[in-house]
Structure 1
Amino acid sequence: MTERVIDRIADIADQMREQASEAEKVGQLTDQTVKSMKAAGNIRLLQPAKYNGLEVHPREFAETVMATAALDPSAGWVNGVVGVHPYQMAYADPRVAEEIWADDPDTWIASPYAPGGVATPVDGGYIFNGHWQFSSGTDHCDWIILGAVIGDKEGNPAMPPVHLHMILPRKDYEIVDDSWNVVGLRGTGSKDIVIKDAFVPSYRTMDSTEVMDGTAQRKAGMTLPLYLMPWSAMFPLGISSAVIGIAEGALAAHLDYQRDRVGANGTAIKDDPYVMYGVAEAAADINAARQELLANIDRVYDMVEAGKEVSFADRAAGRRTQVRAVWRAVSAVDQIFARSGGNALRMDKPLQRYWRDAHAGLAHAIHVPGTVYHAAALSSLGVDPQGPLRVMI
Structure 2
Amino acid sequence: MSNRVLDNIVAIADDIRAQADEAESIGRLPDEMAKGMKHAGVIRMLARKKYDGFESHPREFAETVMKTASIYGSAGWVAGIVGVHPWQLAMADPRVQEEVLGTDSDTWQASPYMPGGIALPVDGGYIMSGRWQFSSGTDHCDWIFLGAMVGDKEGKPLMPPQSLHVILPRADYEIVPDSWDVVGLRGTGSKDIIVKEKFIPDYRVMDGNGVIDGTVAKNYGVTETLYKMPWSTMFPLGITSATIGIAEGVLAAGIAYQRERIGATGTAIKDDPYTLYSLGEAAAEIDAARQQLLGNVDRIWDLVDAGKEVDFAQRAEGRRNQTRAAWRAVRAADEIFDRSGGNALRMDNPLQRFWRDAHAGLHHAIHVTNTVYHAAALSSLGPDPQGPLRVMI
- What is the TM-score of this pair, normalised by structure 2? 0.99
Deviation digits for residues 60-89 of structure 1 (CA, Å, limit 9, x no counterpart): 000000000000100100011000000000
Describe the SS at the equivalent of 2:29.
coil
Instruction: Tell me whether 1:228 sits opposite 2:234 in the alignment.
Output: no
Q: Which residue of 2 aligns with 1:158?
A: 158
Deviation digits for residues 201-251 of structure 1 (CA, Å, limit 9, x no counterpart): 000000001101111001111000000000010000000000000000110
Provide the aligned length of Structure 1 versus Structure 2: 393
Q: Aligned AA for 1:281?
A: E
Q: Distance in 1 between matches of 2:315 and 2:19?
A: 37
Instruction: Tell me whether 1:96 sits opposite 2:96 in the alignment.
Output: yes
Q: How does 1:10-49 map to 2 (within 5 A)?
A: 10-49=10-49
Q: Distance in 1 between matches of 2:3 and 2:184?
A: 33
Instruction: Tell me whether 1:57 sits opposite 2:21 in the alignment.
Output: no
| Contact 2:120–2:151 (8 Å) recurs in 1 | yes
Q: Which residue of 2 aligns with 1:328?
A: 328
Q: How does 1:296-307 map to 2 (within 5 A)?
A: 296-307=296-307
Q: Distance in 1 between matches of 2:385 and 2:151?
A: 28
Q: Aligned AA for 1:96?
A: V
Describe the SS at the equivalent of 2:165.
strand
Q: Aligned AA for 1:112?
A: P
| Contact 1:147–1:165 (8 Å) recurs in 2 | yes
Q: Aligned AA for 1:176?
A: V
Across the aligned residues of Structure 1 and Structure 2, the Cα RMSD in angstroms comes to 0.8
Q: How does 1:102-113 map to 2 (within 5 A)?
A: 102-113=102-113
Q: Distance in 2 between matches of 1:291 and 1:257?
A: 25
Q: Which residue of 1 aligns with 2:219?
A: 219
Q: Distance in 2 between matches of 1:10 and 1:153?
A: 52
Q: Distance in 1 between matches of 2:239 and 2:43?
A: 14
Q: In the TM superposition, what is the alpha-carbon distance from 1:12 to its structure 2 partner?
A: 1.3
Deviation digits for residues 314-343 of structure 1 (CA, Å, limit 9, x no counterpart): 000000000101100000010000000000
Describe the SS at the equivalent of 1:385.
coil
Q: Aligned AA for 2:370?
A: G
Q: Which residue of 2 aligns with 1:120?
A: 120
Q: Distance in 1 between matches of 2:353 and 2:5?
A: 25
Q: How does 1:1-393 map to 2 (within 5 A)?
A: 4-393=4-393
Q: Distance in 2 between matches of 1:377 and 1:178?
A: 42
Describe the SS at the equivalent of 1:112.
coil
Deviation digits for residues 258-291 of structure 1 (CA, Å, limit 9, x no counterpart): 0001112211111100000000000000000000
Q: Distance in 2 between matches of 1:154 and 1:254?
A: 55
| Contact 1:128–1:199 (8 Å) recurs in 2 | yes
Q: In the TM superposition, what is the alpha-carbon distance from 1:22 to its structure 2 partner?
A: 1.6
Q: In the TM superposition, what is the alpha-carbon distance from 1:161 to its structure 2 partner?
A: 1.3
| Contact 1:346–1:352 (8 Å) recurs in 2 | yes
* Structure 1: gaps of 5 or more residues: none
Q: Which moved more, 1:148-157 or 1:254-263?
A: 148-157
Q: Which moved more, 1:17-26 or 1:359-368?
A: 17-26
| Contact 1:136–1:189 (8 Å) recurs in 2 | yes
Q: Distance in 2 between matches of 1:160 and 1:226?
A: 31
Q: In the TM superposition, what is the alpha-carbon distance from 1:154 to its structure 2 partner?
A: 2.6
Q: Distance in 2 between matches of 1:391 and 1:186?
A: 28
Q: In the TM superposition, what is the alpha-carbon distance from 1:153 to its structure 2 partner?
A: 2.1
Q: In the TM superposition, what is the alpha-carbon distance from 1:21 to its structure 2 partner?
A: 2.1
| Contact 1:19–1:72 (8 Å) recurs in 2 | no
- What is the TM-score of this pair, normalised by structure 1? 0.99
Q: Distance in 1 between matches of 2:2 and 2:214?
A: 32
| Contact 1:20–1:73 (8 Å) recurs in 2 | no
Q: Distance in 2 between matches of 1:291 and 1:362?
A: 18
Q: Distance in 2 between matches of 1:3 and 1:180?
A: 33
Q: Aligned AA for 2:79?
A: N
Q: Distance in 2 between matches of 1:161 and 1:321?
A: 29
Describe the SS at the equivalent of 1:156.
coil
Q: In the TM superposition, what is the alpha-carbon distance from 1:160 to its structure 2 partner?
A: 1.6
| Contact 2:118–2:157 (8 Å) recurs in 1 | yes
Q: Aligned AA for 1:352?
A: Q
Q: Distance in 2 between matches of 1:293 and 1:3?
A: 18
Q: In the TM superposition, what is the alpha-carbon distance from 1:3 to its structure 2 partner?
A: 5.9
| Contact 2:47–2:54 (8 Å) recurs in 1 | yes
Describe the SS at the equivalent of 1:192.
strand
Q: Distance in 1 between matches of 2:195 and 2:363?
A: 26
Q: In the TM superposition, what is the alpha-carbon distance from 1:194 to its structure 2 partner?
A: 0.3
Q: In the TM superposition, what is the alpha-carbon distance from 1:2 to its structure 2 partner?
A: 6.0
| Contact 2:3–2:60 (8 Å) recurs in 1 | no
* Structure 2: gaps of 5 or more residues: none
